Amino acid sequence: MAKDDTSQLPTFRTRGLTKVYGEGAAAVHALRGVDLTIPKGEMVVLLGPSGSGKSTLLNIIGGLDRATDGAAFFQDQNLSEMNDRALTLYRRDHVGFVFQFYNLMPSLTARENVELVTEIADDPMEVEEALRLVGLGERMDHFPAQMSGGEQQRVAIARAIAKNPTVLFCDEPTGALDSKTGRQVLHVINDINRDLGATVMIVTHAAATAQMAHRVIHFADGAIREVVENDTRLSPDEIHW
């Protein structure tokens, strides 16, 4: 297949994806043969009880962890067959991560936190542009301690998108925020999906967030219980939780 065609492939496909932590009597079956397809450019929300395997799935398709069995494809590349260096390059070139607790460097300003990424990325956007996209054009020289939780999370999002990622993973992005601030963060994530075309995958316990997704994947006990495609999507302003 010509290289240009790969960009139209689903962002992810998994077949029989299995993850077992530990061995013998202590083994934990975190993923029990997951088959899924994530079309390019979609916003996907993963819901499910604590311990059902959502973060494990994100970590494997995000190249942070390896499956025990089965296959995970990013476009036409089999992540399960990549060596460590190839996985590092995959993460560096294609993947942005946003976590619940921001993970910013406290001794660096917003601008410098984003620069950490743009300095090593292949085709980054300007740091100022990334911070403007998350509404922090005026706060570039502030340190994390001088910002609210929502602002710190927006710096983390700016850092994740500054490399122009193909996919943005958000693991409980609003988990530490009040509902008003959480809504602002969802707005930013929504804009990134719509305006930059990044495929977005959000793991959350805030079930109402699913109303803004194209596709909702319900997890239970290491397996997919149900996939729902939303006919109508709500804007973050219309979501109540």
Ligand X SMILES: Nc1ncnc2c1ncn2[C@@H]1O[C@H](COP(=O)(O)OP(=O)(O)OP(=O)(O)O)[C@@H](O)[C@H]1O
Task: Provide, rounded to whole angstroms, the least separation between the CB of residue 19 and ligand X.
Answer: 7
**CA Rg value for the chain:** 18
Beta carbons within 10 angstroms of residue 92's beta carbon: 15
Task: Provide, rounded to whole angstroms, the least separation between the CB of residue 208 and ligand X.
Answer: 16
The number of residues that bind ligand X (CB under 6 A) is 12
Q: Which residue's CB is nearer to ligand X, number 163 or number 218? A: 218
Task: Tell me the pairing of strands 199-203 and 28-38.
Answer: unpaired
Angstrom CA distances, 189 to 22, 121, 145, 161, stand at 35, 20, 23, 10
Q: Which residue's CB is nearer to ligand X, number 11 or number 56? A: 56
Does residue 211 touch ligand X according to CB under 6 A? no
Q: Which residue's CB is nearer to ligand X, number 51 or number 137? A: 51
Q: Which residue's CB is nearer to ligand X, number 101 or number 197? A: 101
Does residue 30 touch ligand X according to CB under 6 A? yes
Q: Which stretch binds ligand X (CB under 6 A): 4-12, 52-60, 98-106, 194-202?
A: 52-60
3-class DSSP state of 69: strand
Dihedrals phi, psi of 43, to nearest 5 degrees: -105, 120
* Binding-site member from 5, 8, 35, 51 for ligand X (CB under 6 A): 51
Beta carbons within 10 angstroms of residue 18's beta carbon: 17
Does residue 23 touch ligand X according to CB under 6 A? no
Q: What sign results for the dihedral spanned by CA atoms 55, 56, 59, 61?
A: negative
- Per CB under 6 A, residues contacting ligand X are 21-22, 28, 30, 48, 50-56
